[in-house]
Amino acid sequence: MRLHGTKVPHHKNTAGSVPVPLPLPKEVVIPMSMHIGRPARVVVKRGDEVKVGTLIGEAEGFISAPVHSSVSGKVLKINEITMSNGASVQAVVIETDGLQETDESIKPPELSDFDSYVAAVRKSGAVGLGGAGFPSFVKFSVEDLSRVEAVVINAAECEPYITSDTRTMLDKTEFIFKGIEAIKKFIGTKKFVIGIEDNKGECIKKLKEFCDKTDGVEVCVVPSIYPQGGEKVLVYNTTGRIIPQGKLPLDAGVIVINVTTLAFVAEYLETGMPLVSKVVTVDGSAVKEPKNVIAPIGTPLKNLLEFCNTDSEPAKILYGGPMMGISVPSADVPVLKMTNAVIAMDEKEAAPPKTTPCINCGRCLNHCPLRLDPRAISKAYARNSGEDLEELYADLCMECGCCSYVCPAKRPLVQTNKLAKALLREYKSKKEDKK
């Protein structure tokens, strides 16, 4: 069967770049919303002294995650900042003292059973580090553990440029497998599948070496066809299971976890240090010295770009890769928990293409990994027809960008799909109210 999706240039320029520490910034800006769900509640005030790992934001509600200081220093202020998605959130601004002293409370968690394991994952502040930002402990908060028949470890890293997961696989392999052993022990899962694209030969070799010494773990090499790392796509291509519409992977008997998230959780269980820094790939046509850098969360992006000798005024800066990344308003925005890459583009690369009328070639439909019809969705959206959008399953769109990428008319199909999904949500909400 032909795999849907599309071939994209890999541009894995930094695959061999061992992560290097970024010089400590003068101050960090740490938002209280770096995850899906409710923002954390600020628990420090102006003038407070903090250290690396100090809790500064407490999780609010079930789907939320705590936030910790990535530096030692003094809280300058607590203010509102505008995120790249337009939302206003509280942020803690900390002036660094250069000492990077560790908070005295940092110690490895005590684990005895399933509940203590889930509590530890929550306390760590872990979220989906592949870019999704879903609080990790929620995935493991399963009432009936027998439902978890397999764990799929997402090591596909299918976006162009990004190699931060690659470095995890090469530099922290032992923590990946310690994370697997912890899941085996506290959740009881016996089957693990590491889904990885075939363009990562060195990673595949190293992972297989560890697999040979670990029961129940297999490396499933999949073709490097974007978006292989999409949750629904990877689960199907590694296990043959289909995640039902509107359902979670657990409904297919699977938990999916990003490879770097898994390694971080294992490291937290050993050290007790919460999520306070990220390995970030810095690349793009405006970057003269592409690198993987280790940055404290909250570091302004301009510090990363300066460190990598970037042109003074990139035409566009993205959180994440060029296919699903989000454009940021300025280089002053901070590194977030789920920031796996910063892509800086020059004028030529950032220039929007000229759009022409649809020629009904069907490429968007043929390349959609979920077999949707972006042409029909676009027409239904133009008609403001929530009913038609529902019949077209518009809400299944993962916004991977394949349709826009392959469109010879350069139509902004993925942007239209986003708007169509919002319209469909409104339509469904009104339909539910009428019941």
- The DSSP bridge partners found for residue 222 are 197
| Residues 154 and 234 both lie in one domain | yes
Counting the structural domains of the chain, the total is: 2
pLDDT of residue 4: 81
Judged by DSSP in three states, 198 sits in: coil
Rounded Cα distance, 34 and 263, in Å:
19
Q: Tell me whether residue 229 is in a domain.
A: yes
Q: What is the CATH number of the domain that holds 248?
A: 3.40.50.11540
Q: Tell me whether residue 91 is in a domain.
A: no
| Residues 411 and 317 both lie in one domain | no
Predicted confidence band of residue 130 (pLDDT cuts 50, 70, 90): confident
pLDDT of residue 3: 59
| Residues 292 and 227 both lie in one domain | yes
Q: Tell me whether residue 244 is in a domain.
A: yes
Mean pLDDT to the nearest integer, 368-378: 95
Mean pLDDT to the nearest integer, 173-182: 98
Quick one: what percent of the chain has pLDDT higher than 90? 92
Distances in Å between the alpha carbon of 72 and those of 27, 48, 254, 299? 10, 11, 39, 13
| Residues 367 and 342 both lie in one domain | no
**Does position 2 have pLDDT exceeding 50, yes or no?**
no
| Residues 269 and 416 both lie in one domain | no
Q: Is the peptide bond before 227 cis (omega within 30 degrees of 0)?
A: yes
Select from 289, 314, 348 the last residue of a domain: 348
| Residues 377 and 257 both lie in one domain | no
Provide the token pair at 169: 């696989």
| Residues 257 and 176 both lie in one domain | yes
Mean pLDDT to the nearest integer, 173-193: 97
| Residues 344 and 315 both lie in one domain | yes
Rounded Cα distance, 410 and 115, in Å:
50
H-helix or E-strand spanning residue 193 = strand 192-197
Q: Tell me whether residue 33 is in a domain.
A: no
H-helix or E-strand spanning residue 296 = strand 291-296
Rounded Cα distance, 422 and 221, in Å:
35
Q: Tell me whether residue 221 is in a domain.
A: yes
Q: Tell me whether residue 27 is in a domain.
A: no
- 252-256, 268-272, 278-282, 428-432: least confidently modelled range: 428-432
Mean pLDDT to the nearest integer, 378-395: 96
Q: What residue numbers bound the domain in which 165 lies? A: 1-12+102-348
At 212-229, the pLDDT tens digits run: 999 999 999 999 999 999
Predicted confidence band of residue 288 (pLDDT cuts 50, 70, 90): very high
Select from 303, 325, 348 the last residue of a domain: 348
| Residues 237 and 151 both lie in one domain | yes
Mean pLDDT to the nearest integer, 332-360: 95
| Residues 228 and 376 both lie in one domain | no
| Residues 275 and 369 both lie in one domain | no
Phi, psi of 202 (to 5 degrees): -65, -40
| Residues 343 and 395 both lie in one domain | no
Q: What single string gives the DSSP state of each residue in 233-288?
A: HHHHHHH---PPTT--GGGGTEEEEEHHHHHHHHHHHHH---S-EEEEEEESTTBS
- The DSSP bridge partners found for residue 29 are 93
Predicted confidence band of residue 433 (pLDDT cuts 50, 70, 90): confident
Buried b (16+ CB within 10 A) or exposed e, 8-36: bebbbbbbebebeebebbebbbbbbbbbb
Q: Tell me whether residue 181 is in a domain.
A: yes
Phi, psi of 401 (to 5 degrees): 90, 5
Q: Is the CB of residue 65 less than 8 Å from the CB of residue 125?
A: yes
Q: Tell me whether residue 18 is in a domain.
A: no
pTM of the model: 0.95
Select from 348, 372, 399 the last residue of a domain: 348
**Does position 177 have pLDDT exceeding 90, yes or no?**
yes
